Amino acid sequence: MQFAPVLRSEWLKIRTLRSLLGALLALFAATTAFSAIAGVSDASDPDFDPLFTALSGVMPGQIAAISFGAMAVSSEFRGGALRVSLAAVPQRGRWFAAKATAIAVPALAVGLLTSLAALLAARAGLGSAADGLTGGEQARAVVGGGVYLALTALFAAGLATLLRSGVATLSLLIPFILVVSFVIGDAAGTVVDFMPDRAGLLVLQQTHEGTLGPWSGLAVTALWAAAALLAGAWSLRRRDA
């Protein structure tokens, strides 16, 4: 079977599952709402970063992106759905590539729209505090934020394929993001800078320090997502449906 009809089939699955559409809606709503709230924060802090403040809603929003990626894959492991999918598309690599594409495209589209809406909502509250932001910085944050959210969804999708469980994926990734980055934080030294969330979120900062920059940090996140997808593809090939 050609790739295009497989992709259409996988897109139809995502489009008709209310839980997945709900996760994308939650991504938009949570990110925009938290950024709007952050927009009324105190700008007198010497470490205040208006760009990161405006897009800070991406941090809670990424939980919805993780849920979207994990649920899109884990639905295949319920009720024998994967057996039916692989009976229709025996080429497991082709099927998995279509599944990943069907996850990435809507996640990227919603992520870009969400990042733009979050920036506009926060800027309304920041007022003159955001006047120093250049058009290039804002464009980089919007595009980077959208790409980061899509990569987060793919990272979760790859891990869900490896673990064959959406619950296990959420139980692992959400504490990983919330605990490792924000509780351990700087105590872990430079190693934490290469964590997928810490590295990727650099693209939202106006100024940054350390080894990685905005785009190199996003590249690190892409490598994490690629590694998870490769691990998921390997598991799919090696294990029975």
Please give the pLDDT value at position 238: 83
- Candidates 167, 141, 173, 179; CA nearest to 58 is 141
| Residue whose entry in the numeric block shows the structure tokens 């599952």 | 17
| 22 φψ region: left (φ > 0), alpha (ψ -120 to 50), beta (else) | alpha
Please give the pLDDT value at position 88: 80
Q: What percent of the chain has pLDDT over 90?
A: 51
Is the model's pLDDT at 193 over the cut of 70? Answer: yes
**Is-above-0.75 flag for pTM?**
yes
The tens digit of pLDDT for each residue in 33-75 reads 999 998 887 665 657 788 998 999 999 999 999 999 999 999 8
What is each CA distance from 87 to 35, 38, 115, 119, in whole angstroms? 45, 49, 39, 45
Mean pLDDT of the 216-231 span: 96
Rounded to the nearest integer, the mean pLDDT of the chain is 88
C-alpha to C-alpha distance for 99 and 13, rounded to whole angstroms? 10
Q: What is the DSSP string of 185-235?
A: GGGGGGGGGGSHHHHHGGGG-SS--SS--HHHHHHHHHHHHHHHHHHHHHH
Confidence class of residue 78 from pLDDT cuts 50, 70 and 90? Answer: confident
Is the model's pLDDT at 119 over the cut of 60? Answer: yes
The tens digit of pLDDT for each residue in 94-113 reads 899 999 999 999 999 999 99
